[in-house]
Chain A
Amino acid sequence: MALPNKNEILKPVGRIRVWYGGLILVLAVFGLQLFYIQIIQYGHYKAAALSDQLKQYQIPATRGIIEAHDGESIIPIVLNQQLYTLYADPTFIKQPDTLAKQLVPIVGGSASAYSGLMKTKNTRYVVLAKKITPQQQTKILSLKSPGLGTQGVDYRTYPQGSLASQTLGFVGVDGKGNYGIEQALNNQLAGKPGKLKAITDANGVPLAASKDNIDAAPKNGDTVVTTLDLSMQAQMEQILQQDYKNTKSQGLSAVIMDPNTGAIKAMANFPTFDPSNYANVSDPTLFNNAAVSNAIEPGSTMKILTTAAALDQGVIQPDTTFYDPAHWIVDGFNITDIEQDGGARQQNIASVLNLSLNTGATWMLMQMGGGQINTKARNVWYDYMTKHFRLGQTTGVEQGYESAALVPPPQDNGAGIDLTYANTSFGQGLQITALQMAAADSSVLNGGTYYQPHLVDNYITADKQTVNVSPKVLVKNVVSAKVSQDMQSLMENVVQQHLAAGFPYLNFDSKYIVGGKTGTAQIAQPGGGYYADKYNGTYVGFVGGDKPQYVIVVYNMQPQVPGYAGTYGGQPVFADLAHMLINSSFVSPKSH
């Protein structure tokens, strides 16, 4: 047995030491590199780490609900419901086919679609289904499948269905309000999302509290209590739907306003849409609340304002009579009445309204200028339209896409401004929305105070504080109290005369006062002039007891009716609404 000689022992030991020396050398280099990375370059890597790890989040605030009056009680018309979005992280899903088959009985849909999604490469988030109910969510979670997750999402629900949908608007997938109150009051309703700045895991889930975390709680949105009366609104929508059909209309809008506060009690248009199904609406104009966004030439309903302005200036009196030549030549154009059977004769103020005399309204405008349409007449009338009746500007009602409409400026533009102004005196050549009309006529009828039209009664903040919204007076002395009283009588007279002329549906109980004015408006043709065969029917009226309690404005777009659009398309709708208000006891009768 050979024993090791010096070479056998020493050679390996020497080589072991060389080898070991190399190992230690490399480890020493590692130590230096660690020193470089962890100490010299620490700032760089710390910053890189934070830029990956520190994420800023918004904690969503719960959107405020919307409520409305229903008699004495207040009930919600827009609520939130938490549904879930089902998503998958494909990297954790080992058996997509089996899992997809398990999902189908719970969520519905097709197994092949799910498994296809779950096999998506290079992503860690695929949405499998939306609007999962809490019950479905529980079942999905009980599958205990890694890689499947659910995310709560708030959706709006509408316990009253499509009621007042165009006034309410809807909330889009981005959580922003679109149209109506949802858009106009988006900030109050949305609240303020909380902020969370936190170190998170790679999926963005915040880790345990760290000193780098910043946390600000969300402020939930306010509850909005509207001025709408649900029962009135519902009955109005029924009436509009029926009359829309009866008059073969292109669109029917109505506003019921409390003239003594500016509160909108009911507001609707037909056709309309279902807000819980807004995504399937093919015609986006259905989202518009036409009563605030659709400005038209109102036609003869304007004569209420013309008369009120002339009375308020004292250039005419309620009992003034004048010679009506049955036509005026203004700027070379012939202004006539639509109905030319009367001929030239002596007329009075009541018959200007009752017979809807364009020549009469033009004569009133002339009186404002001292006998002719001139700069003074235009300026005064313009002043009344824009400063008193606040036409040509948005009312500021809590609605999205409100139209400012249009009042032509009084300056001589060399293109027949006098003719334009003569036209405005009977409601052509200018545009007014139904809501502007309701607010202006309310100010005429309530004694002369212009209240800003509003839809919000009060806000209830997230911490249950009620913030009342008091009626906001924008103009005092729109007209004098006496003019207001005169206008009320003149409008009552119009209804009486029409009743006598053979519209029995205008027969109202004598315990109530009812007044109104029709309007048959010509429709401007693109490129100038008016359509010969198309008219909009409008109606402005009021219902009350001791005083006007509701101002009603009806805009009926191009009704297919046998007679005047105002008389046969606007007036019956007004009558239906007025009867509804009286029959449902919304109106307090005269006290004596």
Chain B
Amino acid sequence: MFPRQTASRRRSPALNNPLELGRKHKPDYWLLIWCALLLAIGLTVVYAISPALSETYHVGNNYYVYKQLIAISLSLVAFFITYKVPLQWWKQAYKPLLIIAGLATLMALVLPVNPSYPAHRWVRLSSFSFQSVELVKFAGLIWLSSFLAGRIRQNTITSTSKTLKPLLYILLATGFVVAGIQSDLGSAGVIVAIVGSMAFVAGLPLGRITLIAAIVLIGVTLAISISPYRRARLETFIHPQSNCQGSSYQACQALIAVGSGGVIGLGLGSSVQAYGYLPEAANDSIFAIYAEKFGFIGSIVLLAVFVGFFTRLKTIAERSTDDFTRLLVIGVLAWLSVQTLVNIGAMIGLLPLKGITLPFISYGGTSVVFATAAIGLVFQASQYTAYNTPKIKADNVVDKRNYRQNMVRRASY
């Protein structure tokens, strides 16, 4: 269906810097297994708290399960698209993708909002709606991989004017729209973390990264200090027990849910906190409900599954032979792992609350579809990895050509 990556093709005067992919081999099925495991856990928890949700939100008994199943079906479609459409195409398609993401953001800002969620974060098209920021993350990820890979190729990755400045402008623009207008500091933070991680791995000088970090920190401080709502959230975070009936309510209830799980938890069907005590039980707070049901053992198992999943992503990134692919995988890893950290950290009282979903576990169509789409790209990339992380010292490389052949030859399982 797609042209095999042959030496002759790679060497031909490339149209738009063709990818330096290794020989195609079987994809990394472990990645899919971890991913499916996470989805299954998430669906189980949503199913188990469905009675509570249907009572609290006055919807049908399995409303949330059906919606989540629909989201997962959509995710499968997205997965097959991103898996089958070649990476080369994605790399070149960053422009239209960015334009679509920009338009979606614009629509979210212009379209009327749902009175119960007043922030301009959702794009609503009749019965179908999604959060524009997920699309921004997805498109931005591809553009950034492409951009950084290009700079590496041009050997200008360390250039302030060619690499750092554009990155800063992009960060500022995104920060302004997402954090400023959409008031979604959580997502803005995730975007910053993704950009930072990719820039770090791409080889930006550490001094520059520190500089960006400092600027971001100042920006965040400003964003918090000008908004009383955020100040309250920060206050909540620092003194969680002080105001359990007011602004700290969700944080307190989350801690109560996690803590009352104990060692083995209350059992799958026995969560109490989902019955109206803990807000957003199926979405942002799902980890706390999970921890209440399955206790310390279950929580550690879930963390272990996440570690397994992240390790898989890390391995694929390490073994990628191509800068674009590697950065793309790192971006996906940064995206999903930072969201995981921010979400779980808030539930266990280590980080302030942010409206960030737990990847694959949380109920919510947009986040599942885009996360799975990203995994589709990684799954495709896993077909072109080297067999091993290169361990050869650079000195031992006889010449560059031999090194590549060595890698490519060994890259078939």
B180 within 8 A of A: no
> Cβ of A16: which chain B residues have Cβ within 8 Å of it?
201, 314, 317-318, 326, 330
Across the interface, do B202 and A30 meet the contact criterion of CB distance under 8 Å?
no
> Cβ of B200: which chain A residues have Cβ within 8 Å of it?
15, 19
In angstroms, Cα B303 to Cα A11, docked, is: 29
In angstroms, Cα B403 to Cα A17, docked, is: 22
In angstroms, Cα B52 to Cα A203, docked, is: 12
Stretch of A44-52, A254-262, A375-383 at the chain-chain interface: A44-52
Within 8 A of A (CB), among B107-158: 115-116, 152-153
CB-CB under 8 A for A34 and B260, given A1-B11, A146-B58: no
Across the interface, do A31 and B303 meet the contact criterion of CB distance under 8 Å?
yes
Partner of B326, one of A12, A17, A30, A39: A12
Stretch of A2-10, A295-303, A401-409 at the chain-chain interface: A2-10
Across the interface, do B404 and A4 meet the contact criterion of CB distance under 8 Å?
yes
Within 8 A of B (CB), among A36-61: 37-39, 41-42, 44-46, 48-49, 52-53
Task: State the majority secondary structure of interface residues on A.
Answer: helix
CB-CB under 8 A for A201 and B276, given A10-B390, A30-B348, A33-B349: yes
Across the interface, do A12 and B259 meet the contact criterion of CB distance under 8 Å?
no
Across the interface, do B300 and A19 meet the contact criterion of CB distance under 8 Å?
no
A199 within 8 A of B: yes
Across the interface, do B262 and A38 meet the contact criterion of CB distance under 8 Å?
yes
Interface residues as binary, B255-298 with A (CB distance below 8 Å gives 1, 0 otherwise): 11111111100000010110111000000000000010001100
Task: State the majority secondary structure of interface residues on B.
Answer: helix
Partner of B258, one of A3, A24, A45, A210: A45
A482 within 8 A of B: no
A323 within 8 A of B: no
Interface residues as binary, A467-491 with B (CB distance below 8 Å gives 1, 0 otherwise): 0000000000000000000000000
In angstroms, Cα B256 to Cα A33, docked, is: 14
CB-CB under 8 A for A48 and B318, given A11-B203, A19-B197, A23-B337: no
Stretch of B166-174, B214-222, B363-371, B393-401 at the chain-chain interface: B393-401
Nearest residue in A to B276 (C-beta to C-beta)?
A202
How near does chain A come to B316, taking the closest CB pair, in angstroms? 10
In angstroms, Cα B394 to Cα A53, docked, is: 63
> Cβ of A217: which chain B residues have Cβ within 8 Å of it?
none
> Cβ of A203: which chain B residues have Cβ within 8 Å of it?
276
> Cβ of A34: which chain B residues have Cβ within 8 Å of it?
258, 291, 296, 299-300, 303, 348
Within 8 A of B (CB), among A194-212: 199-203, 205, 207, 210
B307 within 8 A of A: yes
Across the interface, do A30 and B273 meet the contact criterion of CB distance under 8 Å?
no
Partner of A30, one of B153, B321, B350, B389: B350
How near does chain A come to B381, taking the closest CB pair, in angstroms? 14
In angstroms, Cα B257 to Cα A12, docked, is: 40
B310 within 8 A of A: yes
In angstroms, Cα B56 to Cα A16, docked, is: 44
Across the interface, do A3 and B52 meet the contact criterion of CB distance under 8 Å?
no
B10 within 8 A of A: yes
CB-CB under 8 A for A38 and B314, given A19-B197, A27-B307, A52-B277: no
How near does chain A come to B371, taking the closest CB pair, in angstroms? 17
Nearest residue in A to B204 (C-beta to C-beta)?
A15
> Cβ of B70: which chain A residues have Cβ within 8 Å of it?
none
> Cβ of B263: which chain A residues have Cβ within 8 Å of it?
38-39, 42
Nearest residue in A to B241 (C-beta to C-beta)?
A48
Across the interface, do A37 and B318 meet the contact criterion of CB distance under 8 Å?
no
Partner of B403, one of A3, A45, A48, A49: A3
Interface size of A by Cβ–Cβ distance < 8 Å?
Answer: 52
Across the interface, do A45 and B255 meet the contact criterion of CB distance under 8 Å?
yes
Nearest residue in A to B264 (C-beta to C-beta)?
A38
In angstroms, Cα B403 to Cα A39, docked, is: 52
> Cβ of B393: which chain A residues have Cβ within 8 Å of it?
6
> Cβ of B326: which chain A residues have Cβ within 8 Å of it?
12, 16
In angstroms, Cα B350 to Cα A414, docked, is: 86
Across the interface, do B272 and A199 meet the contact criterion of CB distance under 8 Å?
yes
Partner of B389, one of A13, A24, A39, A200: A13
A29 within 8 A of B: yes
Across the interface, do B394 and A6 meet the contact criterion of CB distance under 8 Å?
yes
A147 within 8 A of B: yes
B57 within 8 A of A: yes
In angstroms, Cα B391 to Cα A88, docked, is: 68
> Cβ of A147: which chain B residues have Cβ within 8 Å of it?
58
CB-CB under 8 A for A20 and B314, given A27-B303, A37-B259: yes
B373 within 8 A of A: no
By CB atoms of chain B within 10 A, which of A11, A13, A27, A30 has the most?
Answer: A30
Sample of 10 A–B contacts (CB below 8 Å)? A1-B11, A5-B400, A13-B318, A16-B318, A26-B345, A31-B303, A46-B259, A53-B272, A94-B115, A207-B275
Residues on A facing B (Cβ under 8 Å) = 1-13, 15-17, 19-20, 23-24, 26-27, 29-31, 33-35, 37-39, 41-42, 44-46, 48-49, 52-53, 92, 94, 146-147, 199-203, 205, 207, 210
Which A-B residue pairs are the 7 nearest by beta carbons?
A: A6-B394, A45-B259, A202-B276, A146-B58, A201-B275, A3-B400, A49-B260
